[in-house]
Structure 1
Amino acid sequence: MRIVILAGGEGSRIGGGKPQRLLGGETLLERALRRARSWSDDVLVAAREGADIADDPAVEGPLGGVAAALARGGDVLTIPCDMPFLPDDLPARLSGGAAARVAASGGRLHPVCALWKAQARDALPAYLATGRRSLTGFAEAVGYEAVEWRTEPVDPFFNINDEADLARAEALLRSR
């Protein structure tokens, strides 16, 4: 299974350079790479520049990384670089089923953590023609299934957006 780490966001709420921010002595990107490589030998990073895959410049946000990953062909599991507590069973539980299988927790979808089947690529031009750019909207357009995870003791899809989140993630690491 190909895994693509989405690392193209600006990270403006954390002062920029989010993939290179340190957590537990590793950058967020290094942590994501280590996790992805524990699941697959086919791991790539998508970002605006300086990565294995360049985000589609015509598509804003994380959908640009998903679009670029799907353009390579085949199914792709996407994960972001800023969710350091992803569950061990993520790839297994997202396998099979609909054109997109999207992680969810606490009643919220996390479309950056999704298995996008190859056929999802066929729906991309029509979706982009609507002017929408959300991953949730794209998942809806291709027909998705949500796969729910428990949020206790820690939401596995905890997302680092700012300095307070980074400090909380450090505290969570120390408590494990």
Structure 2
Amino acid sequence: MTQPLGIILAGGLATRMGGGDKGLLTLGGQTLLAHIIDRLGPQVAGLALNANGDPERFAGLGLPVIADSIEGFAGPLAGVLAGLDWAAEQGADAIVTAAADTPFFPRDLVARLMADAEGQTHPLVLATTPRTGAELKSGGKVNRHPTFGLWPVALRDDLRAALNDGLRKVVLWTDKHGGRETLFPVDPFDPFFNVNTPEDLTRAETLLEQA
């Protein structure tokens, strides 16, 4: 498999942060998006940003900005589809997605997802972390992180049809296509910790010292 392209998913509404672009919030003197680019950029063959609305607000990043083609904020799968369509135009076979509000994801994310995709007809792998403590009572041994995954360009039309039929839950689609999982450790903290609230941003400042 050739090195995938990277898609940063920033198409959400950020309602718990009061709206706006979470990726433009500042953490340790840099925007969250700058942290994402710093981590994902070296792992992929090229980067694009999935975001809706006026793309000019991201002009300083120097990245292509691609909007959802499915109307009505259809969730992360709409961003995945936008990324797959863009990747198809670039002649790529696959993309890896990362959320714009998750600044500490693993620097070996792509390598490990690709390793676990070996032997698949269509590379489709989601990142997971082990559940601990009270989380285990809610069922299942892992937390799946559907905004962090390896996705095949070859299945983009299948995904488009599913979204147009109303599908919104990521794992229903990945399970249907034999999606696999890559388990990442949560020591010293969950690398997929994401900034949803002002309190999360304060915690992220503390975690930045350990990242």
Fold shared, TM-score > 0.5 on shorter chain:
yes
Q: Quote the offset at 1:56 in angstroms.
A: 1.9
Percent identity for Structure 1 against Structure 2? 36
Aligned-partner SS, 2:209: helix
Which residue does the alignment assign to 1:8? 11
TM-score of the aligned structures, taking structure 1 as reference length: 0.91
Counterparts of 1:56-67 in structure 2, within 5 Å, are 56-58=69-71, 60-67=74-81
Aligned-partner SS, 1:111: strand
The verdict on how the C-alpha distance between 1:85 and 1:109 changes in structure 2, with shifts beyond 3 A counting, is: same
Q: In terms of mean alpha carbon deviation, does 94-103 or 117-126 score higher? A: 117-126
The verdict on how the C-alpha distance between 1:131 and 1:34 changes in structure 2, with shifts beyond 3 A counting, is: same
Q: Which digits, 9 at most, give the CA deviation of each residue in 1:102-146, with x for residues without a partner?
A: 000021000100000122214214422542212222222322101
Aligned-partner SS, 1:151: coil
Which residue does the alignment assign to 1:37? 41
8 Å contact 1:6–1:81 — kept in the other structure?
yes
Provide the C-alpha distance between the structure 2 equivalents of 1:119 and 1:24, rounded to a whole number of angstroms: 39
Which residue does the alignment assign to 2:58? none
The verdict on how the C-alpha distance between 1:113 and 1:175 changes in structure 2, with shifts beyond 3 A counting, is: closer
8 Å contact 2:40–2:107 — kept in the other structure?
no
TM-score of the aligned structures, taking structure 2 as reference length: 0.77
Gaps of 5+ in 1: none
Larger Rg: 2
Answer 1 or 2: which has greater strand percent.
1
Gaps of 5+ in 2: 56-63, 131-141
Counterparts of 1:120-135 in structure 2, within 5 Å, are 120-135=155-170
Q: Quote the offset at 1:34 in angstroms.
A: 1.7
User: Do structure 1's residue 23 and structure 2's residue 24 form an aligned pair?
Assistant: no
Q: Quote the offset at 1:41 in angstroms.
A: 4.1
The verdict on how the C-alpha distance between 1:138 and 1:29 changes in structure 2, with shifts beyond 3 A counting, is: same
Which residue does the alignment assign to 2:204? 169
TM-align CA RMSD: 1.7
8 Å contact 2:129–2:183 — kept in the other structure?
yes
